[in-house]
């Protein structure tokens, strides 16, 4: 039987590697999941003079998408965000560390999927939300509790796997 040992061990290894293909090593679980969304009050990009804080979005589930105009990957998820917005998902933006203030011009050019954007110029609110890089997207439920988080660009696949089941489960 000894001669079959290498093959058996190899098969086990293969099974793990196969499983690994469907896992994302960069996906770090957020300690905020199941906790109330961290508060902030920030100026609104689209409406100068107004401010936004997460409490205002309560009542229905909503998404907070952390992005920046200088971020290439954010551009990759943009078409999907447009699609989400068109399907009625309430998408809020956190315009993160946009020192050059390019966001408004960029959104005017490529289309704005957001209900509104909160401007987090010094990145402080991002730190409170545990943002490690852009893009990151949070799902917050009707009661203001963080339900899911995704680091990296959103896509149909990610959406169907991580976000859509939670929204359906809530019956919304």
80 binds other proteins (CB under 8 A): no
Please give the structure tokens belonging to residue 46.
Answer: 């689209």
How far is residue 117 from each of residues 68, 74, 130, 159, measured CA to CA in Å? 11, 14, 18, 21
How far is residue 151 from each of residues 131, 159, 168, measured CA to CA in Å? 9, 12, 22
Q: Which is nearer to other proteins, 21 or 86 (CB)?
A: 21
Binding residues for other proteins restricted to 4-33, rule: CB under 8 A: 4, 6-7, 10-11, 13-14, 16-23, 25-29
Give the interface size with other proteins as a residue count (CB under 8 A): 22
Q: Which is nearer to other proteins, 70 or 80 (CB)?
A: 70
Cβ at position 42, least distance to other proteins in Å: 26
Q: Which is nearer to other proteins, 15 or 142 (CB)?
A: 15
Cβ at position 17, least distance to other proteins in Å: 6
Cβ at position 78, least distance to other proteins in Å: 17
Helix (H, G, I), strand (E, B) or coil at 17: helix
Round to whole Å and give the CA distance between 129 and 120: 12
Helix (H, G, I), strand (E, B) or coil at 16: helix
Cβ at position 16, least distance to other proteins in Å: 5
Helix (H, G, I), strand (E, B) or coil at 92: strand
Binding residues for other proteins restricted to 57-76, rule: CB under 8 A: 70
Q: How many CB atoms lie within 10 A of CB 126?
A: 20
Round to whole Å and give the CA distance between 90 and 165: 16
Tell me which of 3, 34, 86, 108 binds other proteins, using CB under 8 A. 3
Cβ at position 167, least distance to other proteins in Å: 23
Peptide bond into 135 cis (omega under 30): yes
- Which residues are near other proteins by CB under 8 A? 3-4, 6-7, 10-11, 13-14, 16-23, 25-29, 70
């Amino acid at each position: 039987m000894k001669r079959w040992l290498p093959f058996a061990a190899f098969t086990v290894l293969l099974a793990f590697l196969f499983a690994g293909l469907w896992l994302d090593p960069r996906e770090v679980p957020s300690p905020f999941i199941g906790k109330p969304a961290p508060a902030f009050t920030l100026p609104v990009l689209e409406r100068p003079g107004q401010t936004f804080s997460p409490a205002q979005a309560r009542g229905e589930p909503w998404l907070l998408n952390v992005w920046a105009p200088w971020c290439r990957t954010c551009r990759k998820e943009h078409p999907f965000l447009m699609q989400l917005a068109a399907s009625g998902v309430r998408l809020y933006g956190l315009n993160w560390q946009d020192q050059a203030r390019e966001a408004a011009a960029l959104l005017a050019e490529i289309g704005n999927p957001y209900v509104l954007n909160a401007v987090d110029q010094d990145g402080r609110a991002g730190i409170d939300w545990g943002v490690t890089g852009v893009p990151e997207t949070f799902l917050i439920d009707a009661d203001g509790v963080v339900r899911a988080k995704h680091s990296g660009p959103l896509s149909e696949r990610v959406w169907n796997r991580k976000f859509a089941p939670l929204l359906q489960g809530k019956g919304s």
